[in-house]
Structure formats: C-alpha cells, structure tokens
Structure 1
Amino acid sequence: MSSVLVVDDHELFRKGLIAALSEVVADGIDWLEAGSLRETLAILAARGPVSLVVLDLKLPDTQGFGALSALRQAYPQQRVLVISASADDAIHHHVLALGAWGFAGKSATATSLRDLLAAALSLGTRRADQGVSDPAHARAARDNPVGYAHVQRLGERHLQVLELLLRGCSNQQIVTETGLALGTVKNYVSAVLICFEARSRAHLLSLFK
C-alpha cells in the first residue's frame, strides 16, 4: 500500500487536501499527517520512508527552505512534493535544486495535484515483464540497454513525456500534446531527468543516441 505524509501546520488545509485528493485518486493510500518538521522526522524515524511526503515550505519550526533541506539531509532517498502559497518560478527551481521531486502551488486544482500524486507514486513501480510496447521502450531497448533499465521504472505518463522530450518538444509543446498544466509538465520533465540522472535535456538526448 502506498503511504503519503501530508505536512502542513494548518490542520484544516491538511485535512482538506487529503479529502480532495481522496476523491480523485485510487483507493489504497495510507494518509499520514504532520504539522511541523519535528513531527515529520518523528514519523519517518518510527516507520521509515513513505511513498511520498507532501511538504509545505512554511512550517512553524523552520525558516525558508529549512524543512526541505533537513528532510533531504536526514532521508536523501525520500520523495518529496513541495507545496507553497507562492507559485514563483524561482521557488520552483530552487526546491528542485535542493532535491525535491516536484513542486505545486497551493492554488493548484485537485486534478493537477492528483496528476502529480499519481506521477510520484507510479515512478519506480513499472514491472520489467510488461514488455516493450511504446516508442520510448522500443528505442531504449534497441539503442541503450542501460537506458532501457531506467525506462522500466517509469509510469505511463512519464513515458509519454519522455517520448515528447526525445522528439525535442518544449514544455509548452508538451502541454499542448498532453493537456496537462504547465507546472505539472515541469514536474514530469524534472522527474524524467532525475530518473536518468541527466543534467539537462541535451544530456538526456545524448543517452538515447
């Protein structure tokens, strides 16, 4: 069962977010809550890393990006989706640079958050015996066995974004092709780059040449 830890110091927001997401995501998620960095670290210490931490940047016992930095230092493999009242691009880029899996503004729709949640929970769950059934799989299997091993870790939406990246599509072109919000596309692109340990889009393309 997937487990999601929602971290926000406002209880009403935590419960509201969980209620909204519970209506649009599949059953079988163990929802956990924390109102501070201290509570978050205590939960993770007691049960180990969870499938995803949804982390508010502003917590009462930290400042700035302190909560994310502390969480990444204590649990470097923990997948973290940062949420913030500000959807500023500079904040988005900074949290990704600090190692967050993704970023969303608190004004994001439930559907956008659902897509991000599904992406975060699906990454790494693809079974190796599902076969080569799409262009990204086929290209990786044919040209790059190491790349194919990485592709096997991607979910369906990640594979779609990967194929568009391999075609040289910009973020806006990916938005047009997929119908996803721009912020959601940015998170998918970042996740794909992280999966392949690629420093840039050009580096990603070079892995498939």
Structure 2
Amino acid sequence: MSSRERILGRVRRALGDAPTDEAPVARDYLREHGQRSTARTVELLAGNLADYRAVVHRCADGELPALLARLLSARGARSVVVPPGLPAQWLAAADAALVPDRAESTPHELDEVSSVVTGCAVAVAETGTIVLDGSPDQGRRRITLVPDHHICVVRVPDQVVSSVPQALERLDPARPLTWISGPSATSDIELDRVEGVHGPRTLEVVLVQAQPSGNVTS
C-alpha cells in the first residue's frame, strides 16, 4: 500500500460518520461583471494576460504552425515537449526535437527540455487566467511546470469565457485542473519578485482566431 492510499484511507475512515445530506448551495451570485461582446471579451483577456507578464500573440488558424516555429526559434529552443493529443500540424514547421510526454520521464529529463507547447481547456477574460485540465492536447501537469518556457494555444472565441463561474461550468472537477495567471512568480518579504520558481519563467499565449464557417455575430 502506498503512502497516498494510506492517507486517503484515513480520510475516508474519519469521514465515515459525517452526514451525507448536503445543504443546497445558492447559485444566484453575479456570474459576469458587465456585458461585453465576444470581441471585447477577447480584448479583456489579452489585456489581463499582458498585465500578468504573459506574452500575447494573435494569429489565424492557418498561421499557427509558422508562428509557433518562429517563437521556438526566437527562444533558441532545441527541444519541445509535445502532449500526445497536440495536433501534429501545429509543430510541423518547428526546427526542434519533439519530446513526447511520457509517464516515465523524470523531472531532471524535463528540466533539460527547452519548451513545451500545449492547448488549454478554457481561458478566463476577467482574471487573465488559463486553465489546463490534462486533456490530450495538454498532457500531464508536470510538463507545464518543469520546462522554463510554456507556449499555450487558446482557440478564439470558443475557449474564452468572461468569468470564473462560466469557466467552472465547462470544467470537470474530477480532472487535474491547473490555473495559470501569468508566468510562475513569487516575492520575498521585501517584495522582490522572482520568476520561474514554481513553474515556467516565460509564458507565451497564442490567441488563434478560428476560421469563420458562416455568418457570425458577437
């Protein structure tokens, strides 16, 4: 039996006599601050991402492979971690070794990788937050925590919501959710900011505009 199993077993035993009836939770709170068009919501997301020191790029769907190749080249990336479900065409133009997301990869091996490219589950405009849920185009949580450079692709407008309540409606709480607001950073008691402590030092977010399939109104 692992340590995890022992701890969870103790928690289950401690909760064995807890009442099972749960009081209803009121859901009448404000779900969005103001009313915005889709275009203004995307602009709010871009602005808040930049405020958190993420580097924001925009492109059309067909321009994504070339843009990713340029970003990796500008970074001098020699290798990039690739989640198993990342669309193959995204990195077709990249001049870097593609490293698969493997369960047996050690933290030391991941630390040797230059960059990681992922999709996302949802992006929250009001908080400038990117949420990953471990889906095939995002891979295991650790591949977005160990490499020093993370490029995250957000499909616009499908993956953009205004608020956290709207994001929660799209997410499965049983999945391993990672909420990212800018590059990893911390401050000491004198408020000296240090980046790259608990995750990537550099976060680049690519807002990919989907090709219109007909008449769309915002």
What TM-score results when the alignment is normalised by the length of structure 2? 0.29
* Bigger RCO (CA 8 Å, 6+ sep): 2
**Which has a greater percent of helix?**
1
Structure label with greater radius of gyration: 2
Larger strand percent: 2
TM-score in terms of structure 1 length:
0.30
